[in-house]
C-alpha cells in the first residue's frame, strides 16, 4: 500500500514538474508552432493570433528560462531575434502527439457519454 502511495505521489510531482516547466498558459501552442521550425517574433504572433503580444513575450521568456526554447539574436539593423526549440523542447513533441490523440478521441464528447 505504501508503494502505491509513493508511486501516486511521484506521478503527481512529475505532473507538477511538467506544468512548472511549461507553466505559461500558451506554452503548448508556442511549442507546437516552433516544432514547425524557427520563427521570428512577428511570425509567431501571426501564426498564433489568439495570443496577445505581452502573453507571447511572457511565454517565450518562460520557455527560454526553462530550456525549452532557444532565443538567437542576430546583429542586424534592426536586430533580428529568432526562436527555436531546444532538444528538450523537441523531445516534448511525443507528449503533444499523445495529447492530440486524446483530444481527437475525447475532446468533443459530452461528460458521461459512452459513444
Which tens digit of pLDDT belongs to each residue from 49-83?
999 999 999 999 999 999 999 999 999 999 999 99
Q: Is the confidence at residue 29, as pLDDT, over 80?
A: yes
Q: Using CA atoms, how far apart are residues 8 and 27, in angstroms rounded to an integer?
A: 26
Domain that holds residue 97: 2-103
- How long, in residues, is the chain? 115
| Sign of CA pseudo-dihedral 54, 55, 58, 64 | negative
What total number of domains does the chain contain? 1
DSSP per-residue codes, 47-74: HTTTS-HHHHHHHHHHHHHTTSEEEEEE
Classify residue 96: in a domain, yes or no: yes
Cβ contact 67:88 at 8 Å:
yes
Confidence of residue 94 (pLDDT cuts 50, 70, 90): confident
Q: Quote the pTM value.
A: 0.76
What is the CB neighbour count within 10 angstroms for residue 77?
5
CATH number at residue 91: 1.10.10.10
Position 87 confidence tier, pLDDT thresholds 50, 70, 90:
very high
**Domain-located, residue 113:** no
Amino acid at each position: 500500500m505504501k508503494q502505491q502511495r509513493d508511486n501516486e505521489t511521484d506521478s503527481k510531482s512529475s505532473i507538477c514538474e511538467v506544468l512548472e516547466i511549461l507553466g505559461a498558459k500558451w506554452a503548448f501552442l508556442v511549442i507546437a508552432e516552433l516544432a514547425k521550425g524557427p520563427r521570428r517574433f512577428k511570425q509567431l504572433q501571426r501564426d498564433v493570433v489568439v495570443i496577445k503580444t505581452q502573453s507571447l513575450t511572457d511565454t517565450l521568456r518562460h520557455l527560454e528560462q526553462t530550456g525549452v526554447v532557444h532565443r538567437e539574436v542576430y546583429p542586424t539593423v534592426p536586430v533580428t531575434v529568432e526562436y527555436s526549440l531546444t532538444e528538450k523542447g523537441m523531445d516534448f513533441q511525443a507528449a503533444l502527439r499523445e495529447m492530440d490523440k486524446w483530444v481527437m478521441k475525447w475532446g468533443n464528447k459530452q461528460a458521461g457519454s459512452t459513444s
